Structure 1
Amino acid sequence: MKKLFTILFVFACLIMSAQESYWTNYTFIVEPENESVVFKLIDDYFKEHKTEGITVSLYANHFHDEENTATHMIVFAGSLDALGGMYASDGGDAWDLLGARLDHHIKDGSGARMGTMKKAYGDSAGDHPIQRYYILDVEDYAAFESSLTKYNTDHAPAGRAVMMGNITSGVSPEGENHWVIDGYKDFKGAIGGANAGLSDSDKAKRQADWKTFQDNNGGVRLVRSGLRVRLGQW
């Protein structure tokens, strides 16, 4: 997996499972005029070359702050054995050719990370291509995970999915170590957010329980947030 891995943020897997899964990702910058070519190269390759047990997802980084310069991210996710097997293989000539072709159309790389997905809440059977992401610096892992699980159990996401995991490598000087993704079926849901359509009393209850979560999460600092759109999945 040679040069592509040197040119290819955010995290995330998105295999909806109650069990821990593993992911790696690579973020990169593509000029607008090259976006369709890059997508076609990746689409053509992964339609034909599938790795057993691995889900590959390509995202566009749609809403982001000015320092979060990646335009796209590619995510590989699966079990430890499946992901380990993928990296043990060099991909052969077809992989080398994909990397060589992408070199001509990707302006620059912007980061690479790996980690796990630990928990998923809500509509795990649905499709949620519009995803709001939150990159976090968590002080007390156990308290955070317990409090988040209680909150999402008491307020089970309806028509959306919430996922949480950690970052084990590729950490910046900001010290981020966890992530949360809020997945929606469409932009309307993502723009409206979790409170859209709730009654005033339900909003007040949700806000009170969110305050309880904040008081008991062991210390959490937001490092970065944004919204990404899934372009393809193989």
Structure 2
Amino acid sequence: MKKLVFVFAFFLCLAISAQDNYYTMYSFVVEPQNEATVYKLVEDYYSKNKPEGIYVRLFENHFKAEDMKATHSIVFLGTQEAVGNMYAGGGNVNFDLFITKLNQYIKDGAGSAMGKHIALNGDTSTRYPFQVYLLLDVADPDKYDAEHQKFHSKHNPPGMLVNMGNVIAGQGTGHYNRWAILGYKDMKSALGGPNQLLSGPALAARQKAWDAYRASNGGVEVVGSGMRVLLGAW
């Protein structure tokens, strides 16, 4: 049975700004009776052993398509240099012990990926535990990236964080070349969506700009969606 395996893989050498953020993500299956134990193991380890310059996030995949078997995912985020350093260091005794313990409570692995964060809009000082994700098939990535930033930098409502990026490797089934994550402070906001966070002239302006955005982004199709819940952040 294939469980959670952290592979210390190579990274592509890209000529980009050092401020750009990259991520690696590992998804896995945890049975209900083991969820609390898995959380405690991750919390105990990364609260004391977080890699330098890296943000660690543990999520539960709460609403998901039938063919997505992963119940949880762990995400590592940082600059290209920070993420590269995390993998270049290899394993250690504490890490090996952590993975050995963790694998005892993981039923199966469910894929992994690495990619780049392209755009982030919203107040990053606030936690947004309810995160709706969209898998996008974008016809013209460069045009989409520019129009996405143009729209969300002006019409992203307070109380919501919008993150958008790509996948370099580990895409999995289905064709998508961009993903977007809409982060909300509570379930009520996630149910209502961005328009319910605005009213009056701000709502009217957003709706008008949304129509223009859809006409100018080069074409995009949502090929998958779901909602994940933030369990822990280190």
Shorter chain as denominator, the TM-score bin is: 0.7 to 0.9
For 1:218, what is the secondary structure of its paired residue? coil
Residue identity (%): 44
The residue number in structure 1 matching 2:233 is 233
For 2:158, what is the secondary structure of its paired residue? coil
Task: List runs of 5+ in structure 1 lacking aligned partners.
Answer: 8-18
The residue number in structure 2 matching 1:185 is 185
> In 1, Cα distance between the equivalents of 2:231 and 2:152?
27
Q: Does 1:78 align with 2:84?
A: no
Preserved contact between residue 123 and residue 157 of structure 1 (Cα < 8 Å): no
Q: Does 1:107 align with 2:138?
A: no
The residue number in structure 2 matching 1:126 is 126
Preserved contact between residue 126 and residue 160 of structure 1 (Cα < 8 Å): no
- Matched residue pairs, number? 222
The verdict on how the C-alpha distance between 1:45 and 1:206 changes in structure 2, with shifts beyond 3 A counting, is same
Instruction: Give the counterpart letter for 1:84 in structure 2.
Output: G
For 1:61, what is the secondary structure of its paired residue? strand
Note the alpha carbon deviations across 1:49-105, whole angstroms, 9 max, x for none.
121101110000011121122110000010111111111122211111111112211
Q: Does 1:223 align with 2:223?
A: yes
> In 1, Cα distance between the equivalents of 2:140 and 2:43?
40
Shift of 1:203: 4.2
> In 2, Cα distance between the equivalents of 1:154 and 1:49?
38
For 2:69, what is the secondary structure of its paired residue? coil
Q: Does 1:24 align with 2:24?
A: yes
> In 1, Cα distance between the equivalents of 2:26 and 2:61?
12
Instruction: Give the counterpart letter for 2:71 in structure 1.
Output: T
The residue number in structure 2 matching 1:10 is none
Preserved contact between residue 121 and residue 163 of structure 1 (Cα < 8 Å): yes
Note the alpha carbon deviations across 1:183-208, whole angstroms, 9 max, x for none.
11111211121011533665454333
| Farther-moved stretch of structure 1 (152-161 vs 175-184) | 152-161
If the length of structure 2 is used for normalisation, what is the TM-score? 0.88
For 1:169, what is the secondary structure of its paired residue? coil
For 1:196, what is the secondary structure of its paired residue? helix
Q: Does 1:92 align with 2:92?
A: yes
> In 1, Cα distance between the equivalents of 2:172 and 2:48?
35
Shift of 1:111: 0.8
Instruction: Give the counterpart letter for 1:124 in structure 2.
Output: T
- Once the two structures are superposed, the pairs formed by residues 124-163 of structure 1 within 5 Å of their partners are 124-163=124-163
The residue number in structure 2 matching 1:172 is 172
Task: List runs of 5+ in structure 2 lacking aligned partners.
Answer: 8-18
| Farther-moved stretch of structure 1 (88-97 vs 27-36) | 88-97
> In 1, Cα distance between the equivalents of 2:153 and 2:21?
21
Preserved contact between residue 164 and residue 178 of structure 1 (Cα < 8 Å): yes
Shift of 1:5: 2.1
If the length of structure 1 is used for normalisation, what is the TM-score? 0.88
| Farther-moved stretch of structure 1 (200-209 vs 118-127) | 200-209
> In 2, Cα distance between the equivalents of 1:170 and 1:107?
20
The alignment yields a C-alpha RMSD, in angstroms, of: 2.0
The verdict on how the C-alpha distance between 1:29 and 1:128 changes in structure 2, with shifts beyond 3 A counting, is same
> In 1, Cα distance between the equivalents of 2:37 and 2:107?
13
Note the alpha carbon deviations across 1:145-184, whole angstroms, 9 max, x for none.
1111121133132122111111111123422121111111
| Farther-moved stretch of structure 1 (110-119 vs 96-105) | 96-105
Preserved contact between residue 117 and residue 166 of structure 1 (Cα < 8 Å): yes
Displacement over 6 Å in runs of 4+:
none
